[in-house]
Amino acid sequence: MPRKPGSGEPAWTDPDDAPELGAGFFKRADIFEGDRLVSRRRPGWQTRANAALTAWRARRPGT
């Protein structure tokens, strides 16, 4: 029986291939000098809490 065109096995992909690293990955990456952490390039919980409280306070009349 003849095979239909395109009915072969799907192309194999290596499960060990790393995903592409885009600009967003490097934008949020931690910065190290040797073993010492220099900067965390994402807001910590205090920064997020302050932003939420500031936004909440701005919505309240008379504050």
Range of the domain at 48: 26-59
Residues 6+ apart with CB under 8 A from 27: 41
CA quadruple 57, 59, 61, 62: dihedral positive or negative?
positive
Query: What is the predicted pLDDT for the residue at 7?
Result: 64
Q: What is d(CA 37, CA 18) in angstroms, rounded to the nearest whole number?
A: 25
Q: Is residue 7 assigned to a domain?
A: no
For residue 37, being part of any structural domain is answered with yes
Residue 48 inside a domain? The answer is yes
Q: Is residue 31 part of a domain?
A: yes
Token code pair at residue 14: 């290596």
Task: Give the pLDDT of the chain (63 residues) as one tens digit per residue.
Answer: 666 666 667 788 888 888 889 998 998 889 999 999 998 888 788 989 999 999 999 999 876
Q: Is residue 38 part of a domain?
A: yes
- Asked if residue 18 belongs to a domain, the reply is no
Does a structural domain hold residue 46? yes
**How many CB atoms neighbour CB 31 within 10 A?**
10
What is the total count of domains within the chain?
A: 1
pTM above 0.75, yes or no: no
**E runs forming strands in the chain:** 31-33, 36-39
Answer whether residue 6 is part of any domain.
no
